[in-house]
Structure 1
Amino acid sequence: MAVKMMNVFAFLLLLLPCFSVTVAGLPAIFGSSAAQVYGRDTPSPDEVAPLAGSDNKTNIDYCGKADTPTFLTEGDTETGPGFYVTNNDISGEHFFLIENSRDTHPWKYLHVPIGARKFVQVCSTWQGRLMRGTPKVNTDGRVHNLGTWIESSVVNGVMSGDVSFLQGCDGGAKVASNDGRGLTRGCTVDMLSGAPSDALQTKDTGTPALKRITGDGFSQSAKNWDLSKCDASQVFIEESNLKPIIDSTNGRFEVTFYKGKA
């Protein structure tokens, strides 16, 4: 229990100092514009995703280089920390890895056909989110935050994270530990069908999503709908509730996306 609490606390500290845009999917005390990173004394074991180096402005050791264009992967070598992404949506989807404080510049994105499961690797100091998107829109150099976020960070080889609807919801999702402990969080129902019109907003991709339920643009209607469909202990809907956070001691999450709209 002490180890688990230490890792969750470290995950919160990673996101603590700078709640604004990038990690606003976590409670209001979290954020990303100057996130403090811990556990830097261990060399990176990564082969596919070595560290790109520290950013002095944010004190984040990024996985991707700022001057490297966003790139597509059809699946990475199963080495080091990362995500096994399963697409249980009704169409093939692209899923973008966006590092903290880099909302306009996703690191890379993964294409997953219907029913498929693919691995995408991150580096040993990963901090960011995984979310649905399209190459045309999400690589245009602008911020596209509306949608379901899979938030996570890696500290000392342990991945911690959650499913968040705070920045909107474009479909259900679930996270599970990959270390054999069977920890899961998420909401797998159809979130968009039947939602009230005043709870919906059109994404930059042209598809509907539930509105934000935090900060500017807060929608009580969207929050009420979220709570009517999902358990707040499973998904970040209530900002003060930390129960949705789980960890995986091998640095890997199983992430499943359900019916939604990129």
Structure 2
Amino acid sequence: MNENQMNRMHTGKGFIAALDQSGGSTPKALLQYGVLERNYSNDEEMFDLVHEMRKRIIKSPAFTSEYILGAILFENTMYRTIDGQYTADYLWKQKNIVPFLKVDKGLTELEDGVQLMKPITDLNELLKKAAEKNIFGTKMRSVIREANSHGIKKVVDQQFEIGKQIAKFGLVPIIEPEVDIYSADKEESEKLLKLEISKQLSNLDQKTKVMLKLSIPIQDNFYSDLMDDPHVVRIVALSGGYSQAEANKKLACNHGLIASFSRALSQGLTAQQTEEEFNAMLSNSIKKIYEASIK
């Protein structure tokens, strides 16, 4: 584990950029960017295009460690290069931004009010490759749709079981049990979720460190006590479908909670923009998300 990266993630000012759209969500991300499906004919061409989009964001002068602490990458991106360096190395060596890797393989069907993660095949091999590529940590997502105590326990148990496996490779897992922002009983789900997370944290080995990626809570500062747990490096928030303005407004009401936005970060960016237009739009978004993250 890189101690400089750990210190930066634990105490630095800024937020995490989520650039980890996977196979299922890539067409939507490209469409938002102004690239239609007719512009590519297979997965290889699609991933080439999305890498160009991510590379454009990462290389932008607006994408700087003054505002951004880390960036989450899709597995395909980890094997690709930027200016002759693997993406993770470029992020850290050229930008001083900590690299993370999305490791989950998507969600199961809804059961007990939740969607668990699908089995992560060959996880150990992937974690070995991530360590070799100088990745600092990982991210994996589950979704909670209803305030079902049994389902929420299953989500958290699965997240922490795999998280402990990840930690054995010297990587810091981002535990992401997302509560659907449109859930009718979101606040009750958050109470059940916090209880299960607290139980899991109390049972961790003293040396094991994790991060949490959570939906912005109904009750302001609801997760503040979890931030003080010695196992928790940082708690970050997903935008979850909120617009950038709405996500920033809600985030700013939660002291110590920082952003890890995807769609809210890339909102307004298009392939058709000039470099000047693109960089100006990205800079504006980054500064607004940063301000909401340091409140």
* TM-score normalised according to structure 1 size: 0.30
Please state which structure has a larger fraction of its residues in strand.
1
Comparing both structures, which one devotes a greater share of its residues to helix?
2
For normalisation by structure 2, the TM-score amounts to 0.27
